[in-house]
């Protein structure tokens, strides 16, 4: 290994083997452009955040206007129009069930806020419920609370001794639902009056490997929790804003969690921002004349006006354009593509939910560190497509503006990549 120094320390990057990072100059719609004008299809929405497309003109205009008017403002004791307007829109778009919106700046912090709301609720009520239930294979972010609720894996092995205890139950995968229900029932029964909340990624577990489980199973888990007054925390950070085919994944399960975390697609992926939304029951547990009962949390950039303006504009795109039509069209094309991909002998576990399609490549060594991953990543990039498999799981998660032609190109390239991988393996076997 030759030591090559990079001033920038990139996320999820092993600099000892990573090639130089690709410098992007500008982006538009579903495309990234490098300095030489080379065009790359962003088939994973720049890590799942871009919804309508890069540099959406409605959002660009709103951000430019807001930037010239009010840049940043302390949000304790002060408020501003973009924050107020956004809160109204969030409550409207999430079905009118929620009463309060708490802003922060990333998905991880939205999760920390949600956990602190649930645990703080029980403290303020003098009941001190302290157990948190989460799903196996989950991912809720990289801060310590979020890591604690997520799966224990190579991602966080070094920090495991510092993570707090969380009860992880099996995911109710198809055919294994009863295992999950029984585990939850056992925990609820053995810890009566001690479980504070159940946190989950609804229907689709992203970073854990694009795993799906059914809306019915989720509804059952939630009903069981509600019988024991356990708060439901939906982490809709990746699933929200149309990703799974409906505005929220929870809509498909017919559930109304007490607390919901929103981020990634909140601003259309334009600027960092998150919101933790909750019912008045939660809010009222902190509402008092006693200062020590207030919610002790803030980030410096809470409710940044420019981020709020971007989010308002993104929701206006939802209101004024046929976003749902675009999502449905992608889902239909994905479904077709999966037929031929699923028929291949080297592919298994095809899955589809809204704009997300995924499959596993049958491999001897699976998992996040699978050697198939870098091979495929390079293969796609050499054909000007950004796809970033999770180990031997390949998934597509495009911006909603992606064209049919681009999707067809991506699907064709998937077949080419699989053929190439097969030929490579045969050569190795000789």
> Site residues (CB under 6 A) for ligand PLP?
106-108, 111, 139-141, 201, 206-207, 235, 237-238, 263-264
Nearer to ligand PLP, 41 or 260 (CB): 260
Minimum Å gap between C-beta 390 and ligand PLP is 12
Nearer to ligand PLP, 132 or 238 (CB): 238
Nearer to ligand PLP, 75 or 139 (CB): 139
Nearer to ligand PLP, 141 or 391 (CB): 141
Spacing of C-alpha 170 from chain mean position: 20
Minimum Å gap between C-beta 143 and ligand PLP is 7
Minimum Å gap between C-beta 200 and ligand PLP is 10
d(CA 24, CA 54): 13
d(CA 309, CA 312): 5
3, 107, 178 from 264: Cα distances, Å: 35, 7, 32
d(CA 215, CA 308): 31
Minimum Å gap between C-beta 354 and ligand PLP is 15
CA dihedral for 97, 103, 105, 111, sign (positive or negative): negative
Check if the beta carbon of residue 30 is closer than 8 Å to that of residue 54.
yes
Minimum Å gap between C-beta 177 and ligand PLP is 21
For β-strands 274-278 and 259-262, DSSP reports them as antiparallel
d(CA 323, CA 328): 9
Nearer to ligand PLP, 153 or 191 (CB): 153
287-290 long-range contacts (CB < 8 A, ≥24 apart) are: 288/124
For 193: left if phi > 0, alpha if psi spans -120 to 50, otherwise beta; the answer is left
Nearer to ligand PLP, 273 or 347 (CB): 273
Minimum Å gap between C-beta 272 and ligand PLP is 7
Residue showing the smallest CB distance to ligand PLP in the complex: 107
């Amino acid at each position: 290994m030759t030591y090559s120094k990079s001033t920038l320390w990139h996320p999820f990057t092993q600099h000892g083997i990573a090639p130089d990072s690709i410098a992007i100059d500008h982006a538009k719609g579903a495309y990234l452009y490098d300095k030489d004008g080379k065009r790359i299809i962003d088939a994973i929405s720049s890590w799942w955040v871009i919804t309508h497309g890069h540099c959406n003109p409605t959002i660009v205009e709103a951000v430019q206007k807001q930037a010239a008017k009010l840049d940043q403002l302390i949000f304790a004791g002060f408020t501003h129009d973009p924050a107020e307007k956004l809160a109204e829109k969030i409550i409207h778009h999430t079905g009118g069930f929620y009463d309060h919106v708490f802003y922060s700046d990333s998905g991880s912090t939205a999760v920390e806020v949600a956990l602190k709301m649930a645990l703080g609720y029980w403290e303020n009520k003098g009941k001190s419920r302290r157990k948190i239930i989460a799903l196996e294979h989950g991912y809720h972010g990289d801060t310590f609370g979020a890591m604690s609720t997520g799966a224990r894996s190579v991602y966080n092995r070094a920090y495991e001794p510092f993570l707090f205890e969380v009860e992880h139950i099996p995911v109710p995968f198809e055919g294994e639902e009863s295992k999950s229900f029984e585990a939850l029932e056992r925990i609820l029964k053995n810890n009566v009056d001690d479980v504070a909340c159940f946190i989950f990624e609804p229907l689709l577990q992203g970073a854990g490997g694009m795993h799906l489980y059914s809306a019915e199973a989720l509804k059952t888990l939630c009903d069981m929790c509600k019988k024991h007054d356990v708060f439901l925390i939906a982490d809709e950070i990746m699933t929200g804003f149309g990703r799974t085919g409906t505005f929220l994944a929870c809509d498909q399960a017919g559930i109304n969690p007490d607390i919901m975390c929103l981020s990634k697609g909140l601003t259309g992926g334009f600027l960092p921002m998150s919101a933790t939304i909750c019912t008045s029951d939660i809010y009222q547990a902190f509402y008092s004349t006693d200062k020590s009962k207030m919610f002790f949390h803030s980030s410096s950039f809470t409710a940044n006006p420019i981020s709020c303006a971007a989010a308002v504009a993104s929701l206006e795109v939802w209101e004024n354009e046929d976003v749902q039509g675009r999502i449905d069209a992608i889902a239909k094309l994905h479904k077709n593509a999966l037929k031929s991909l699923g028929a291949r002998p080297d592919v298994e576990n095809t899955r589809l939910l809204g704009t997300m399609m995924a499959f596993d490549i049958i491999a001897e060594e699976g998992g996040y560190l699978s050697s198939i991953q870098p091979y495929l990543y390079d293969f796609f990039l050499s054909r000007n497509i950004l796809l970033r498999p999770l180990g031997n799981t390949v998934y597509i998660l495009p911006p909603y503006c992606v064209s049919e032609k681009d999707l067809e190109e991506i699907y064709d390239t998937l077949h080419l990549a699989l053929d190439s991988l097969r030929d490579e393996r045969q050569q190795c076997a000789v």
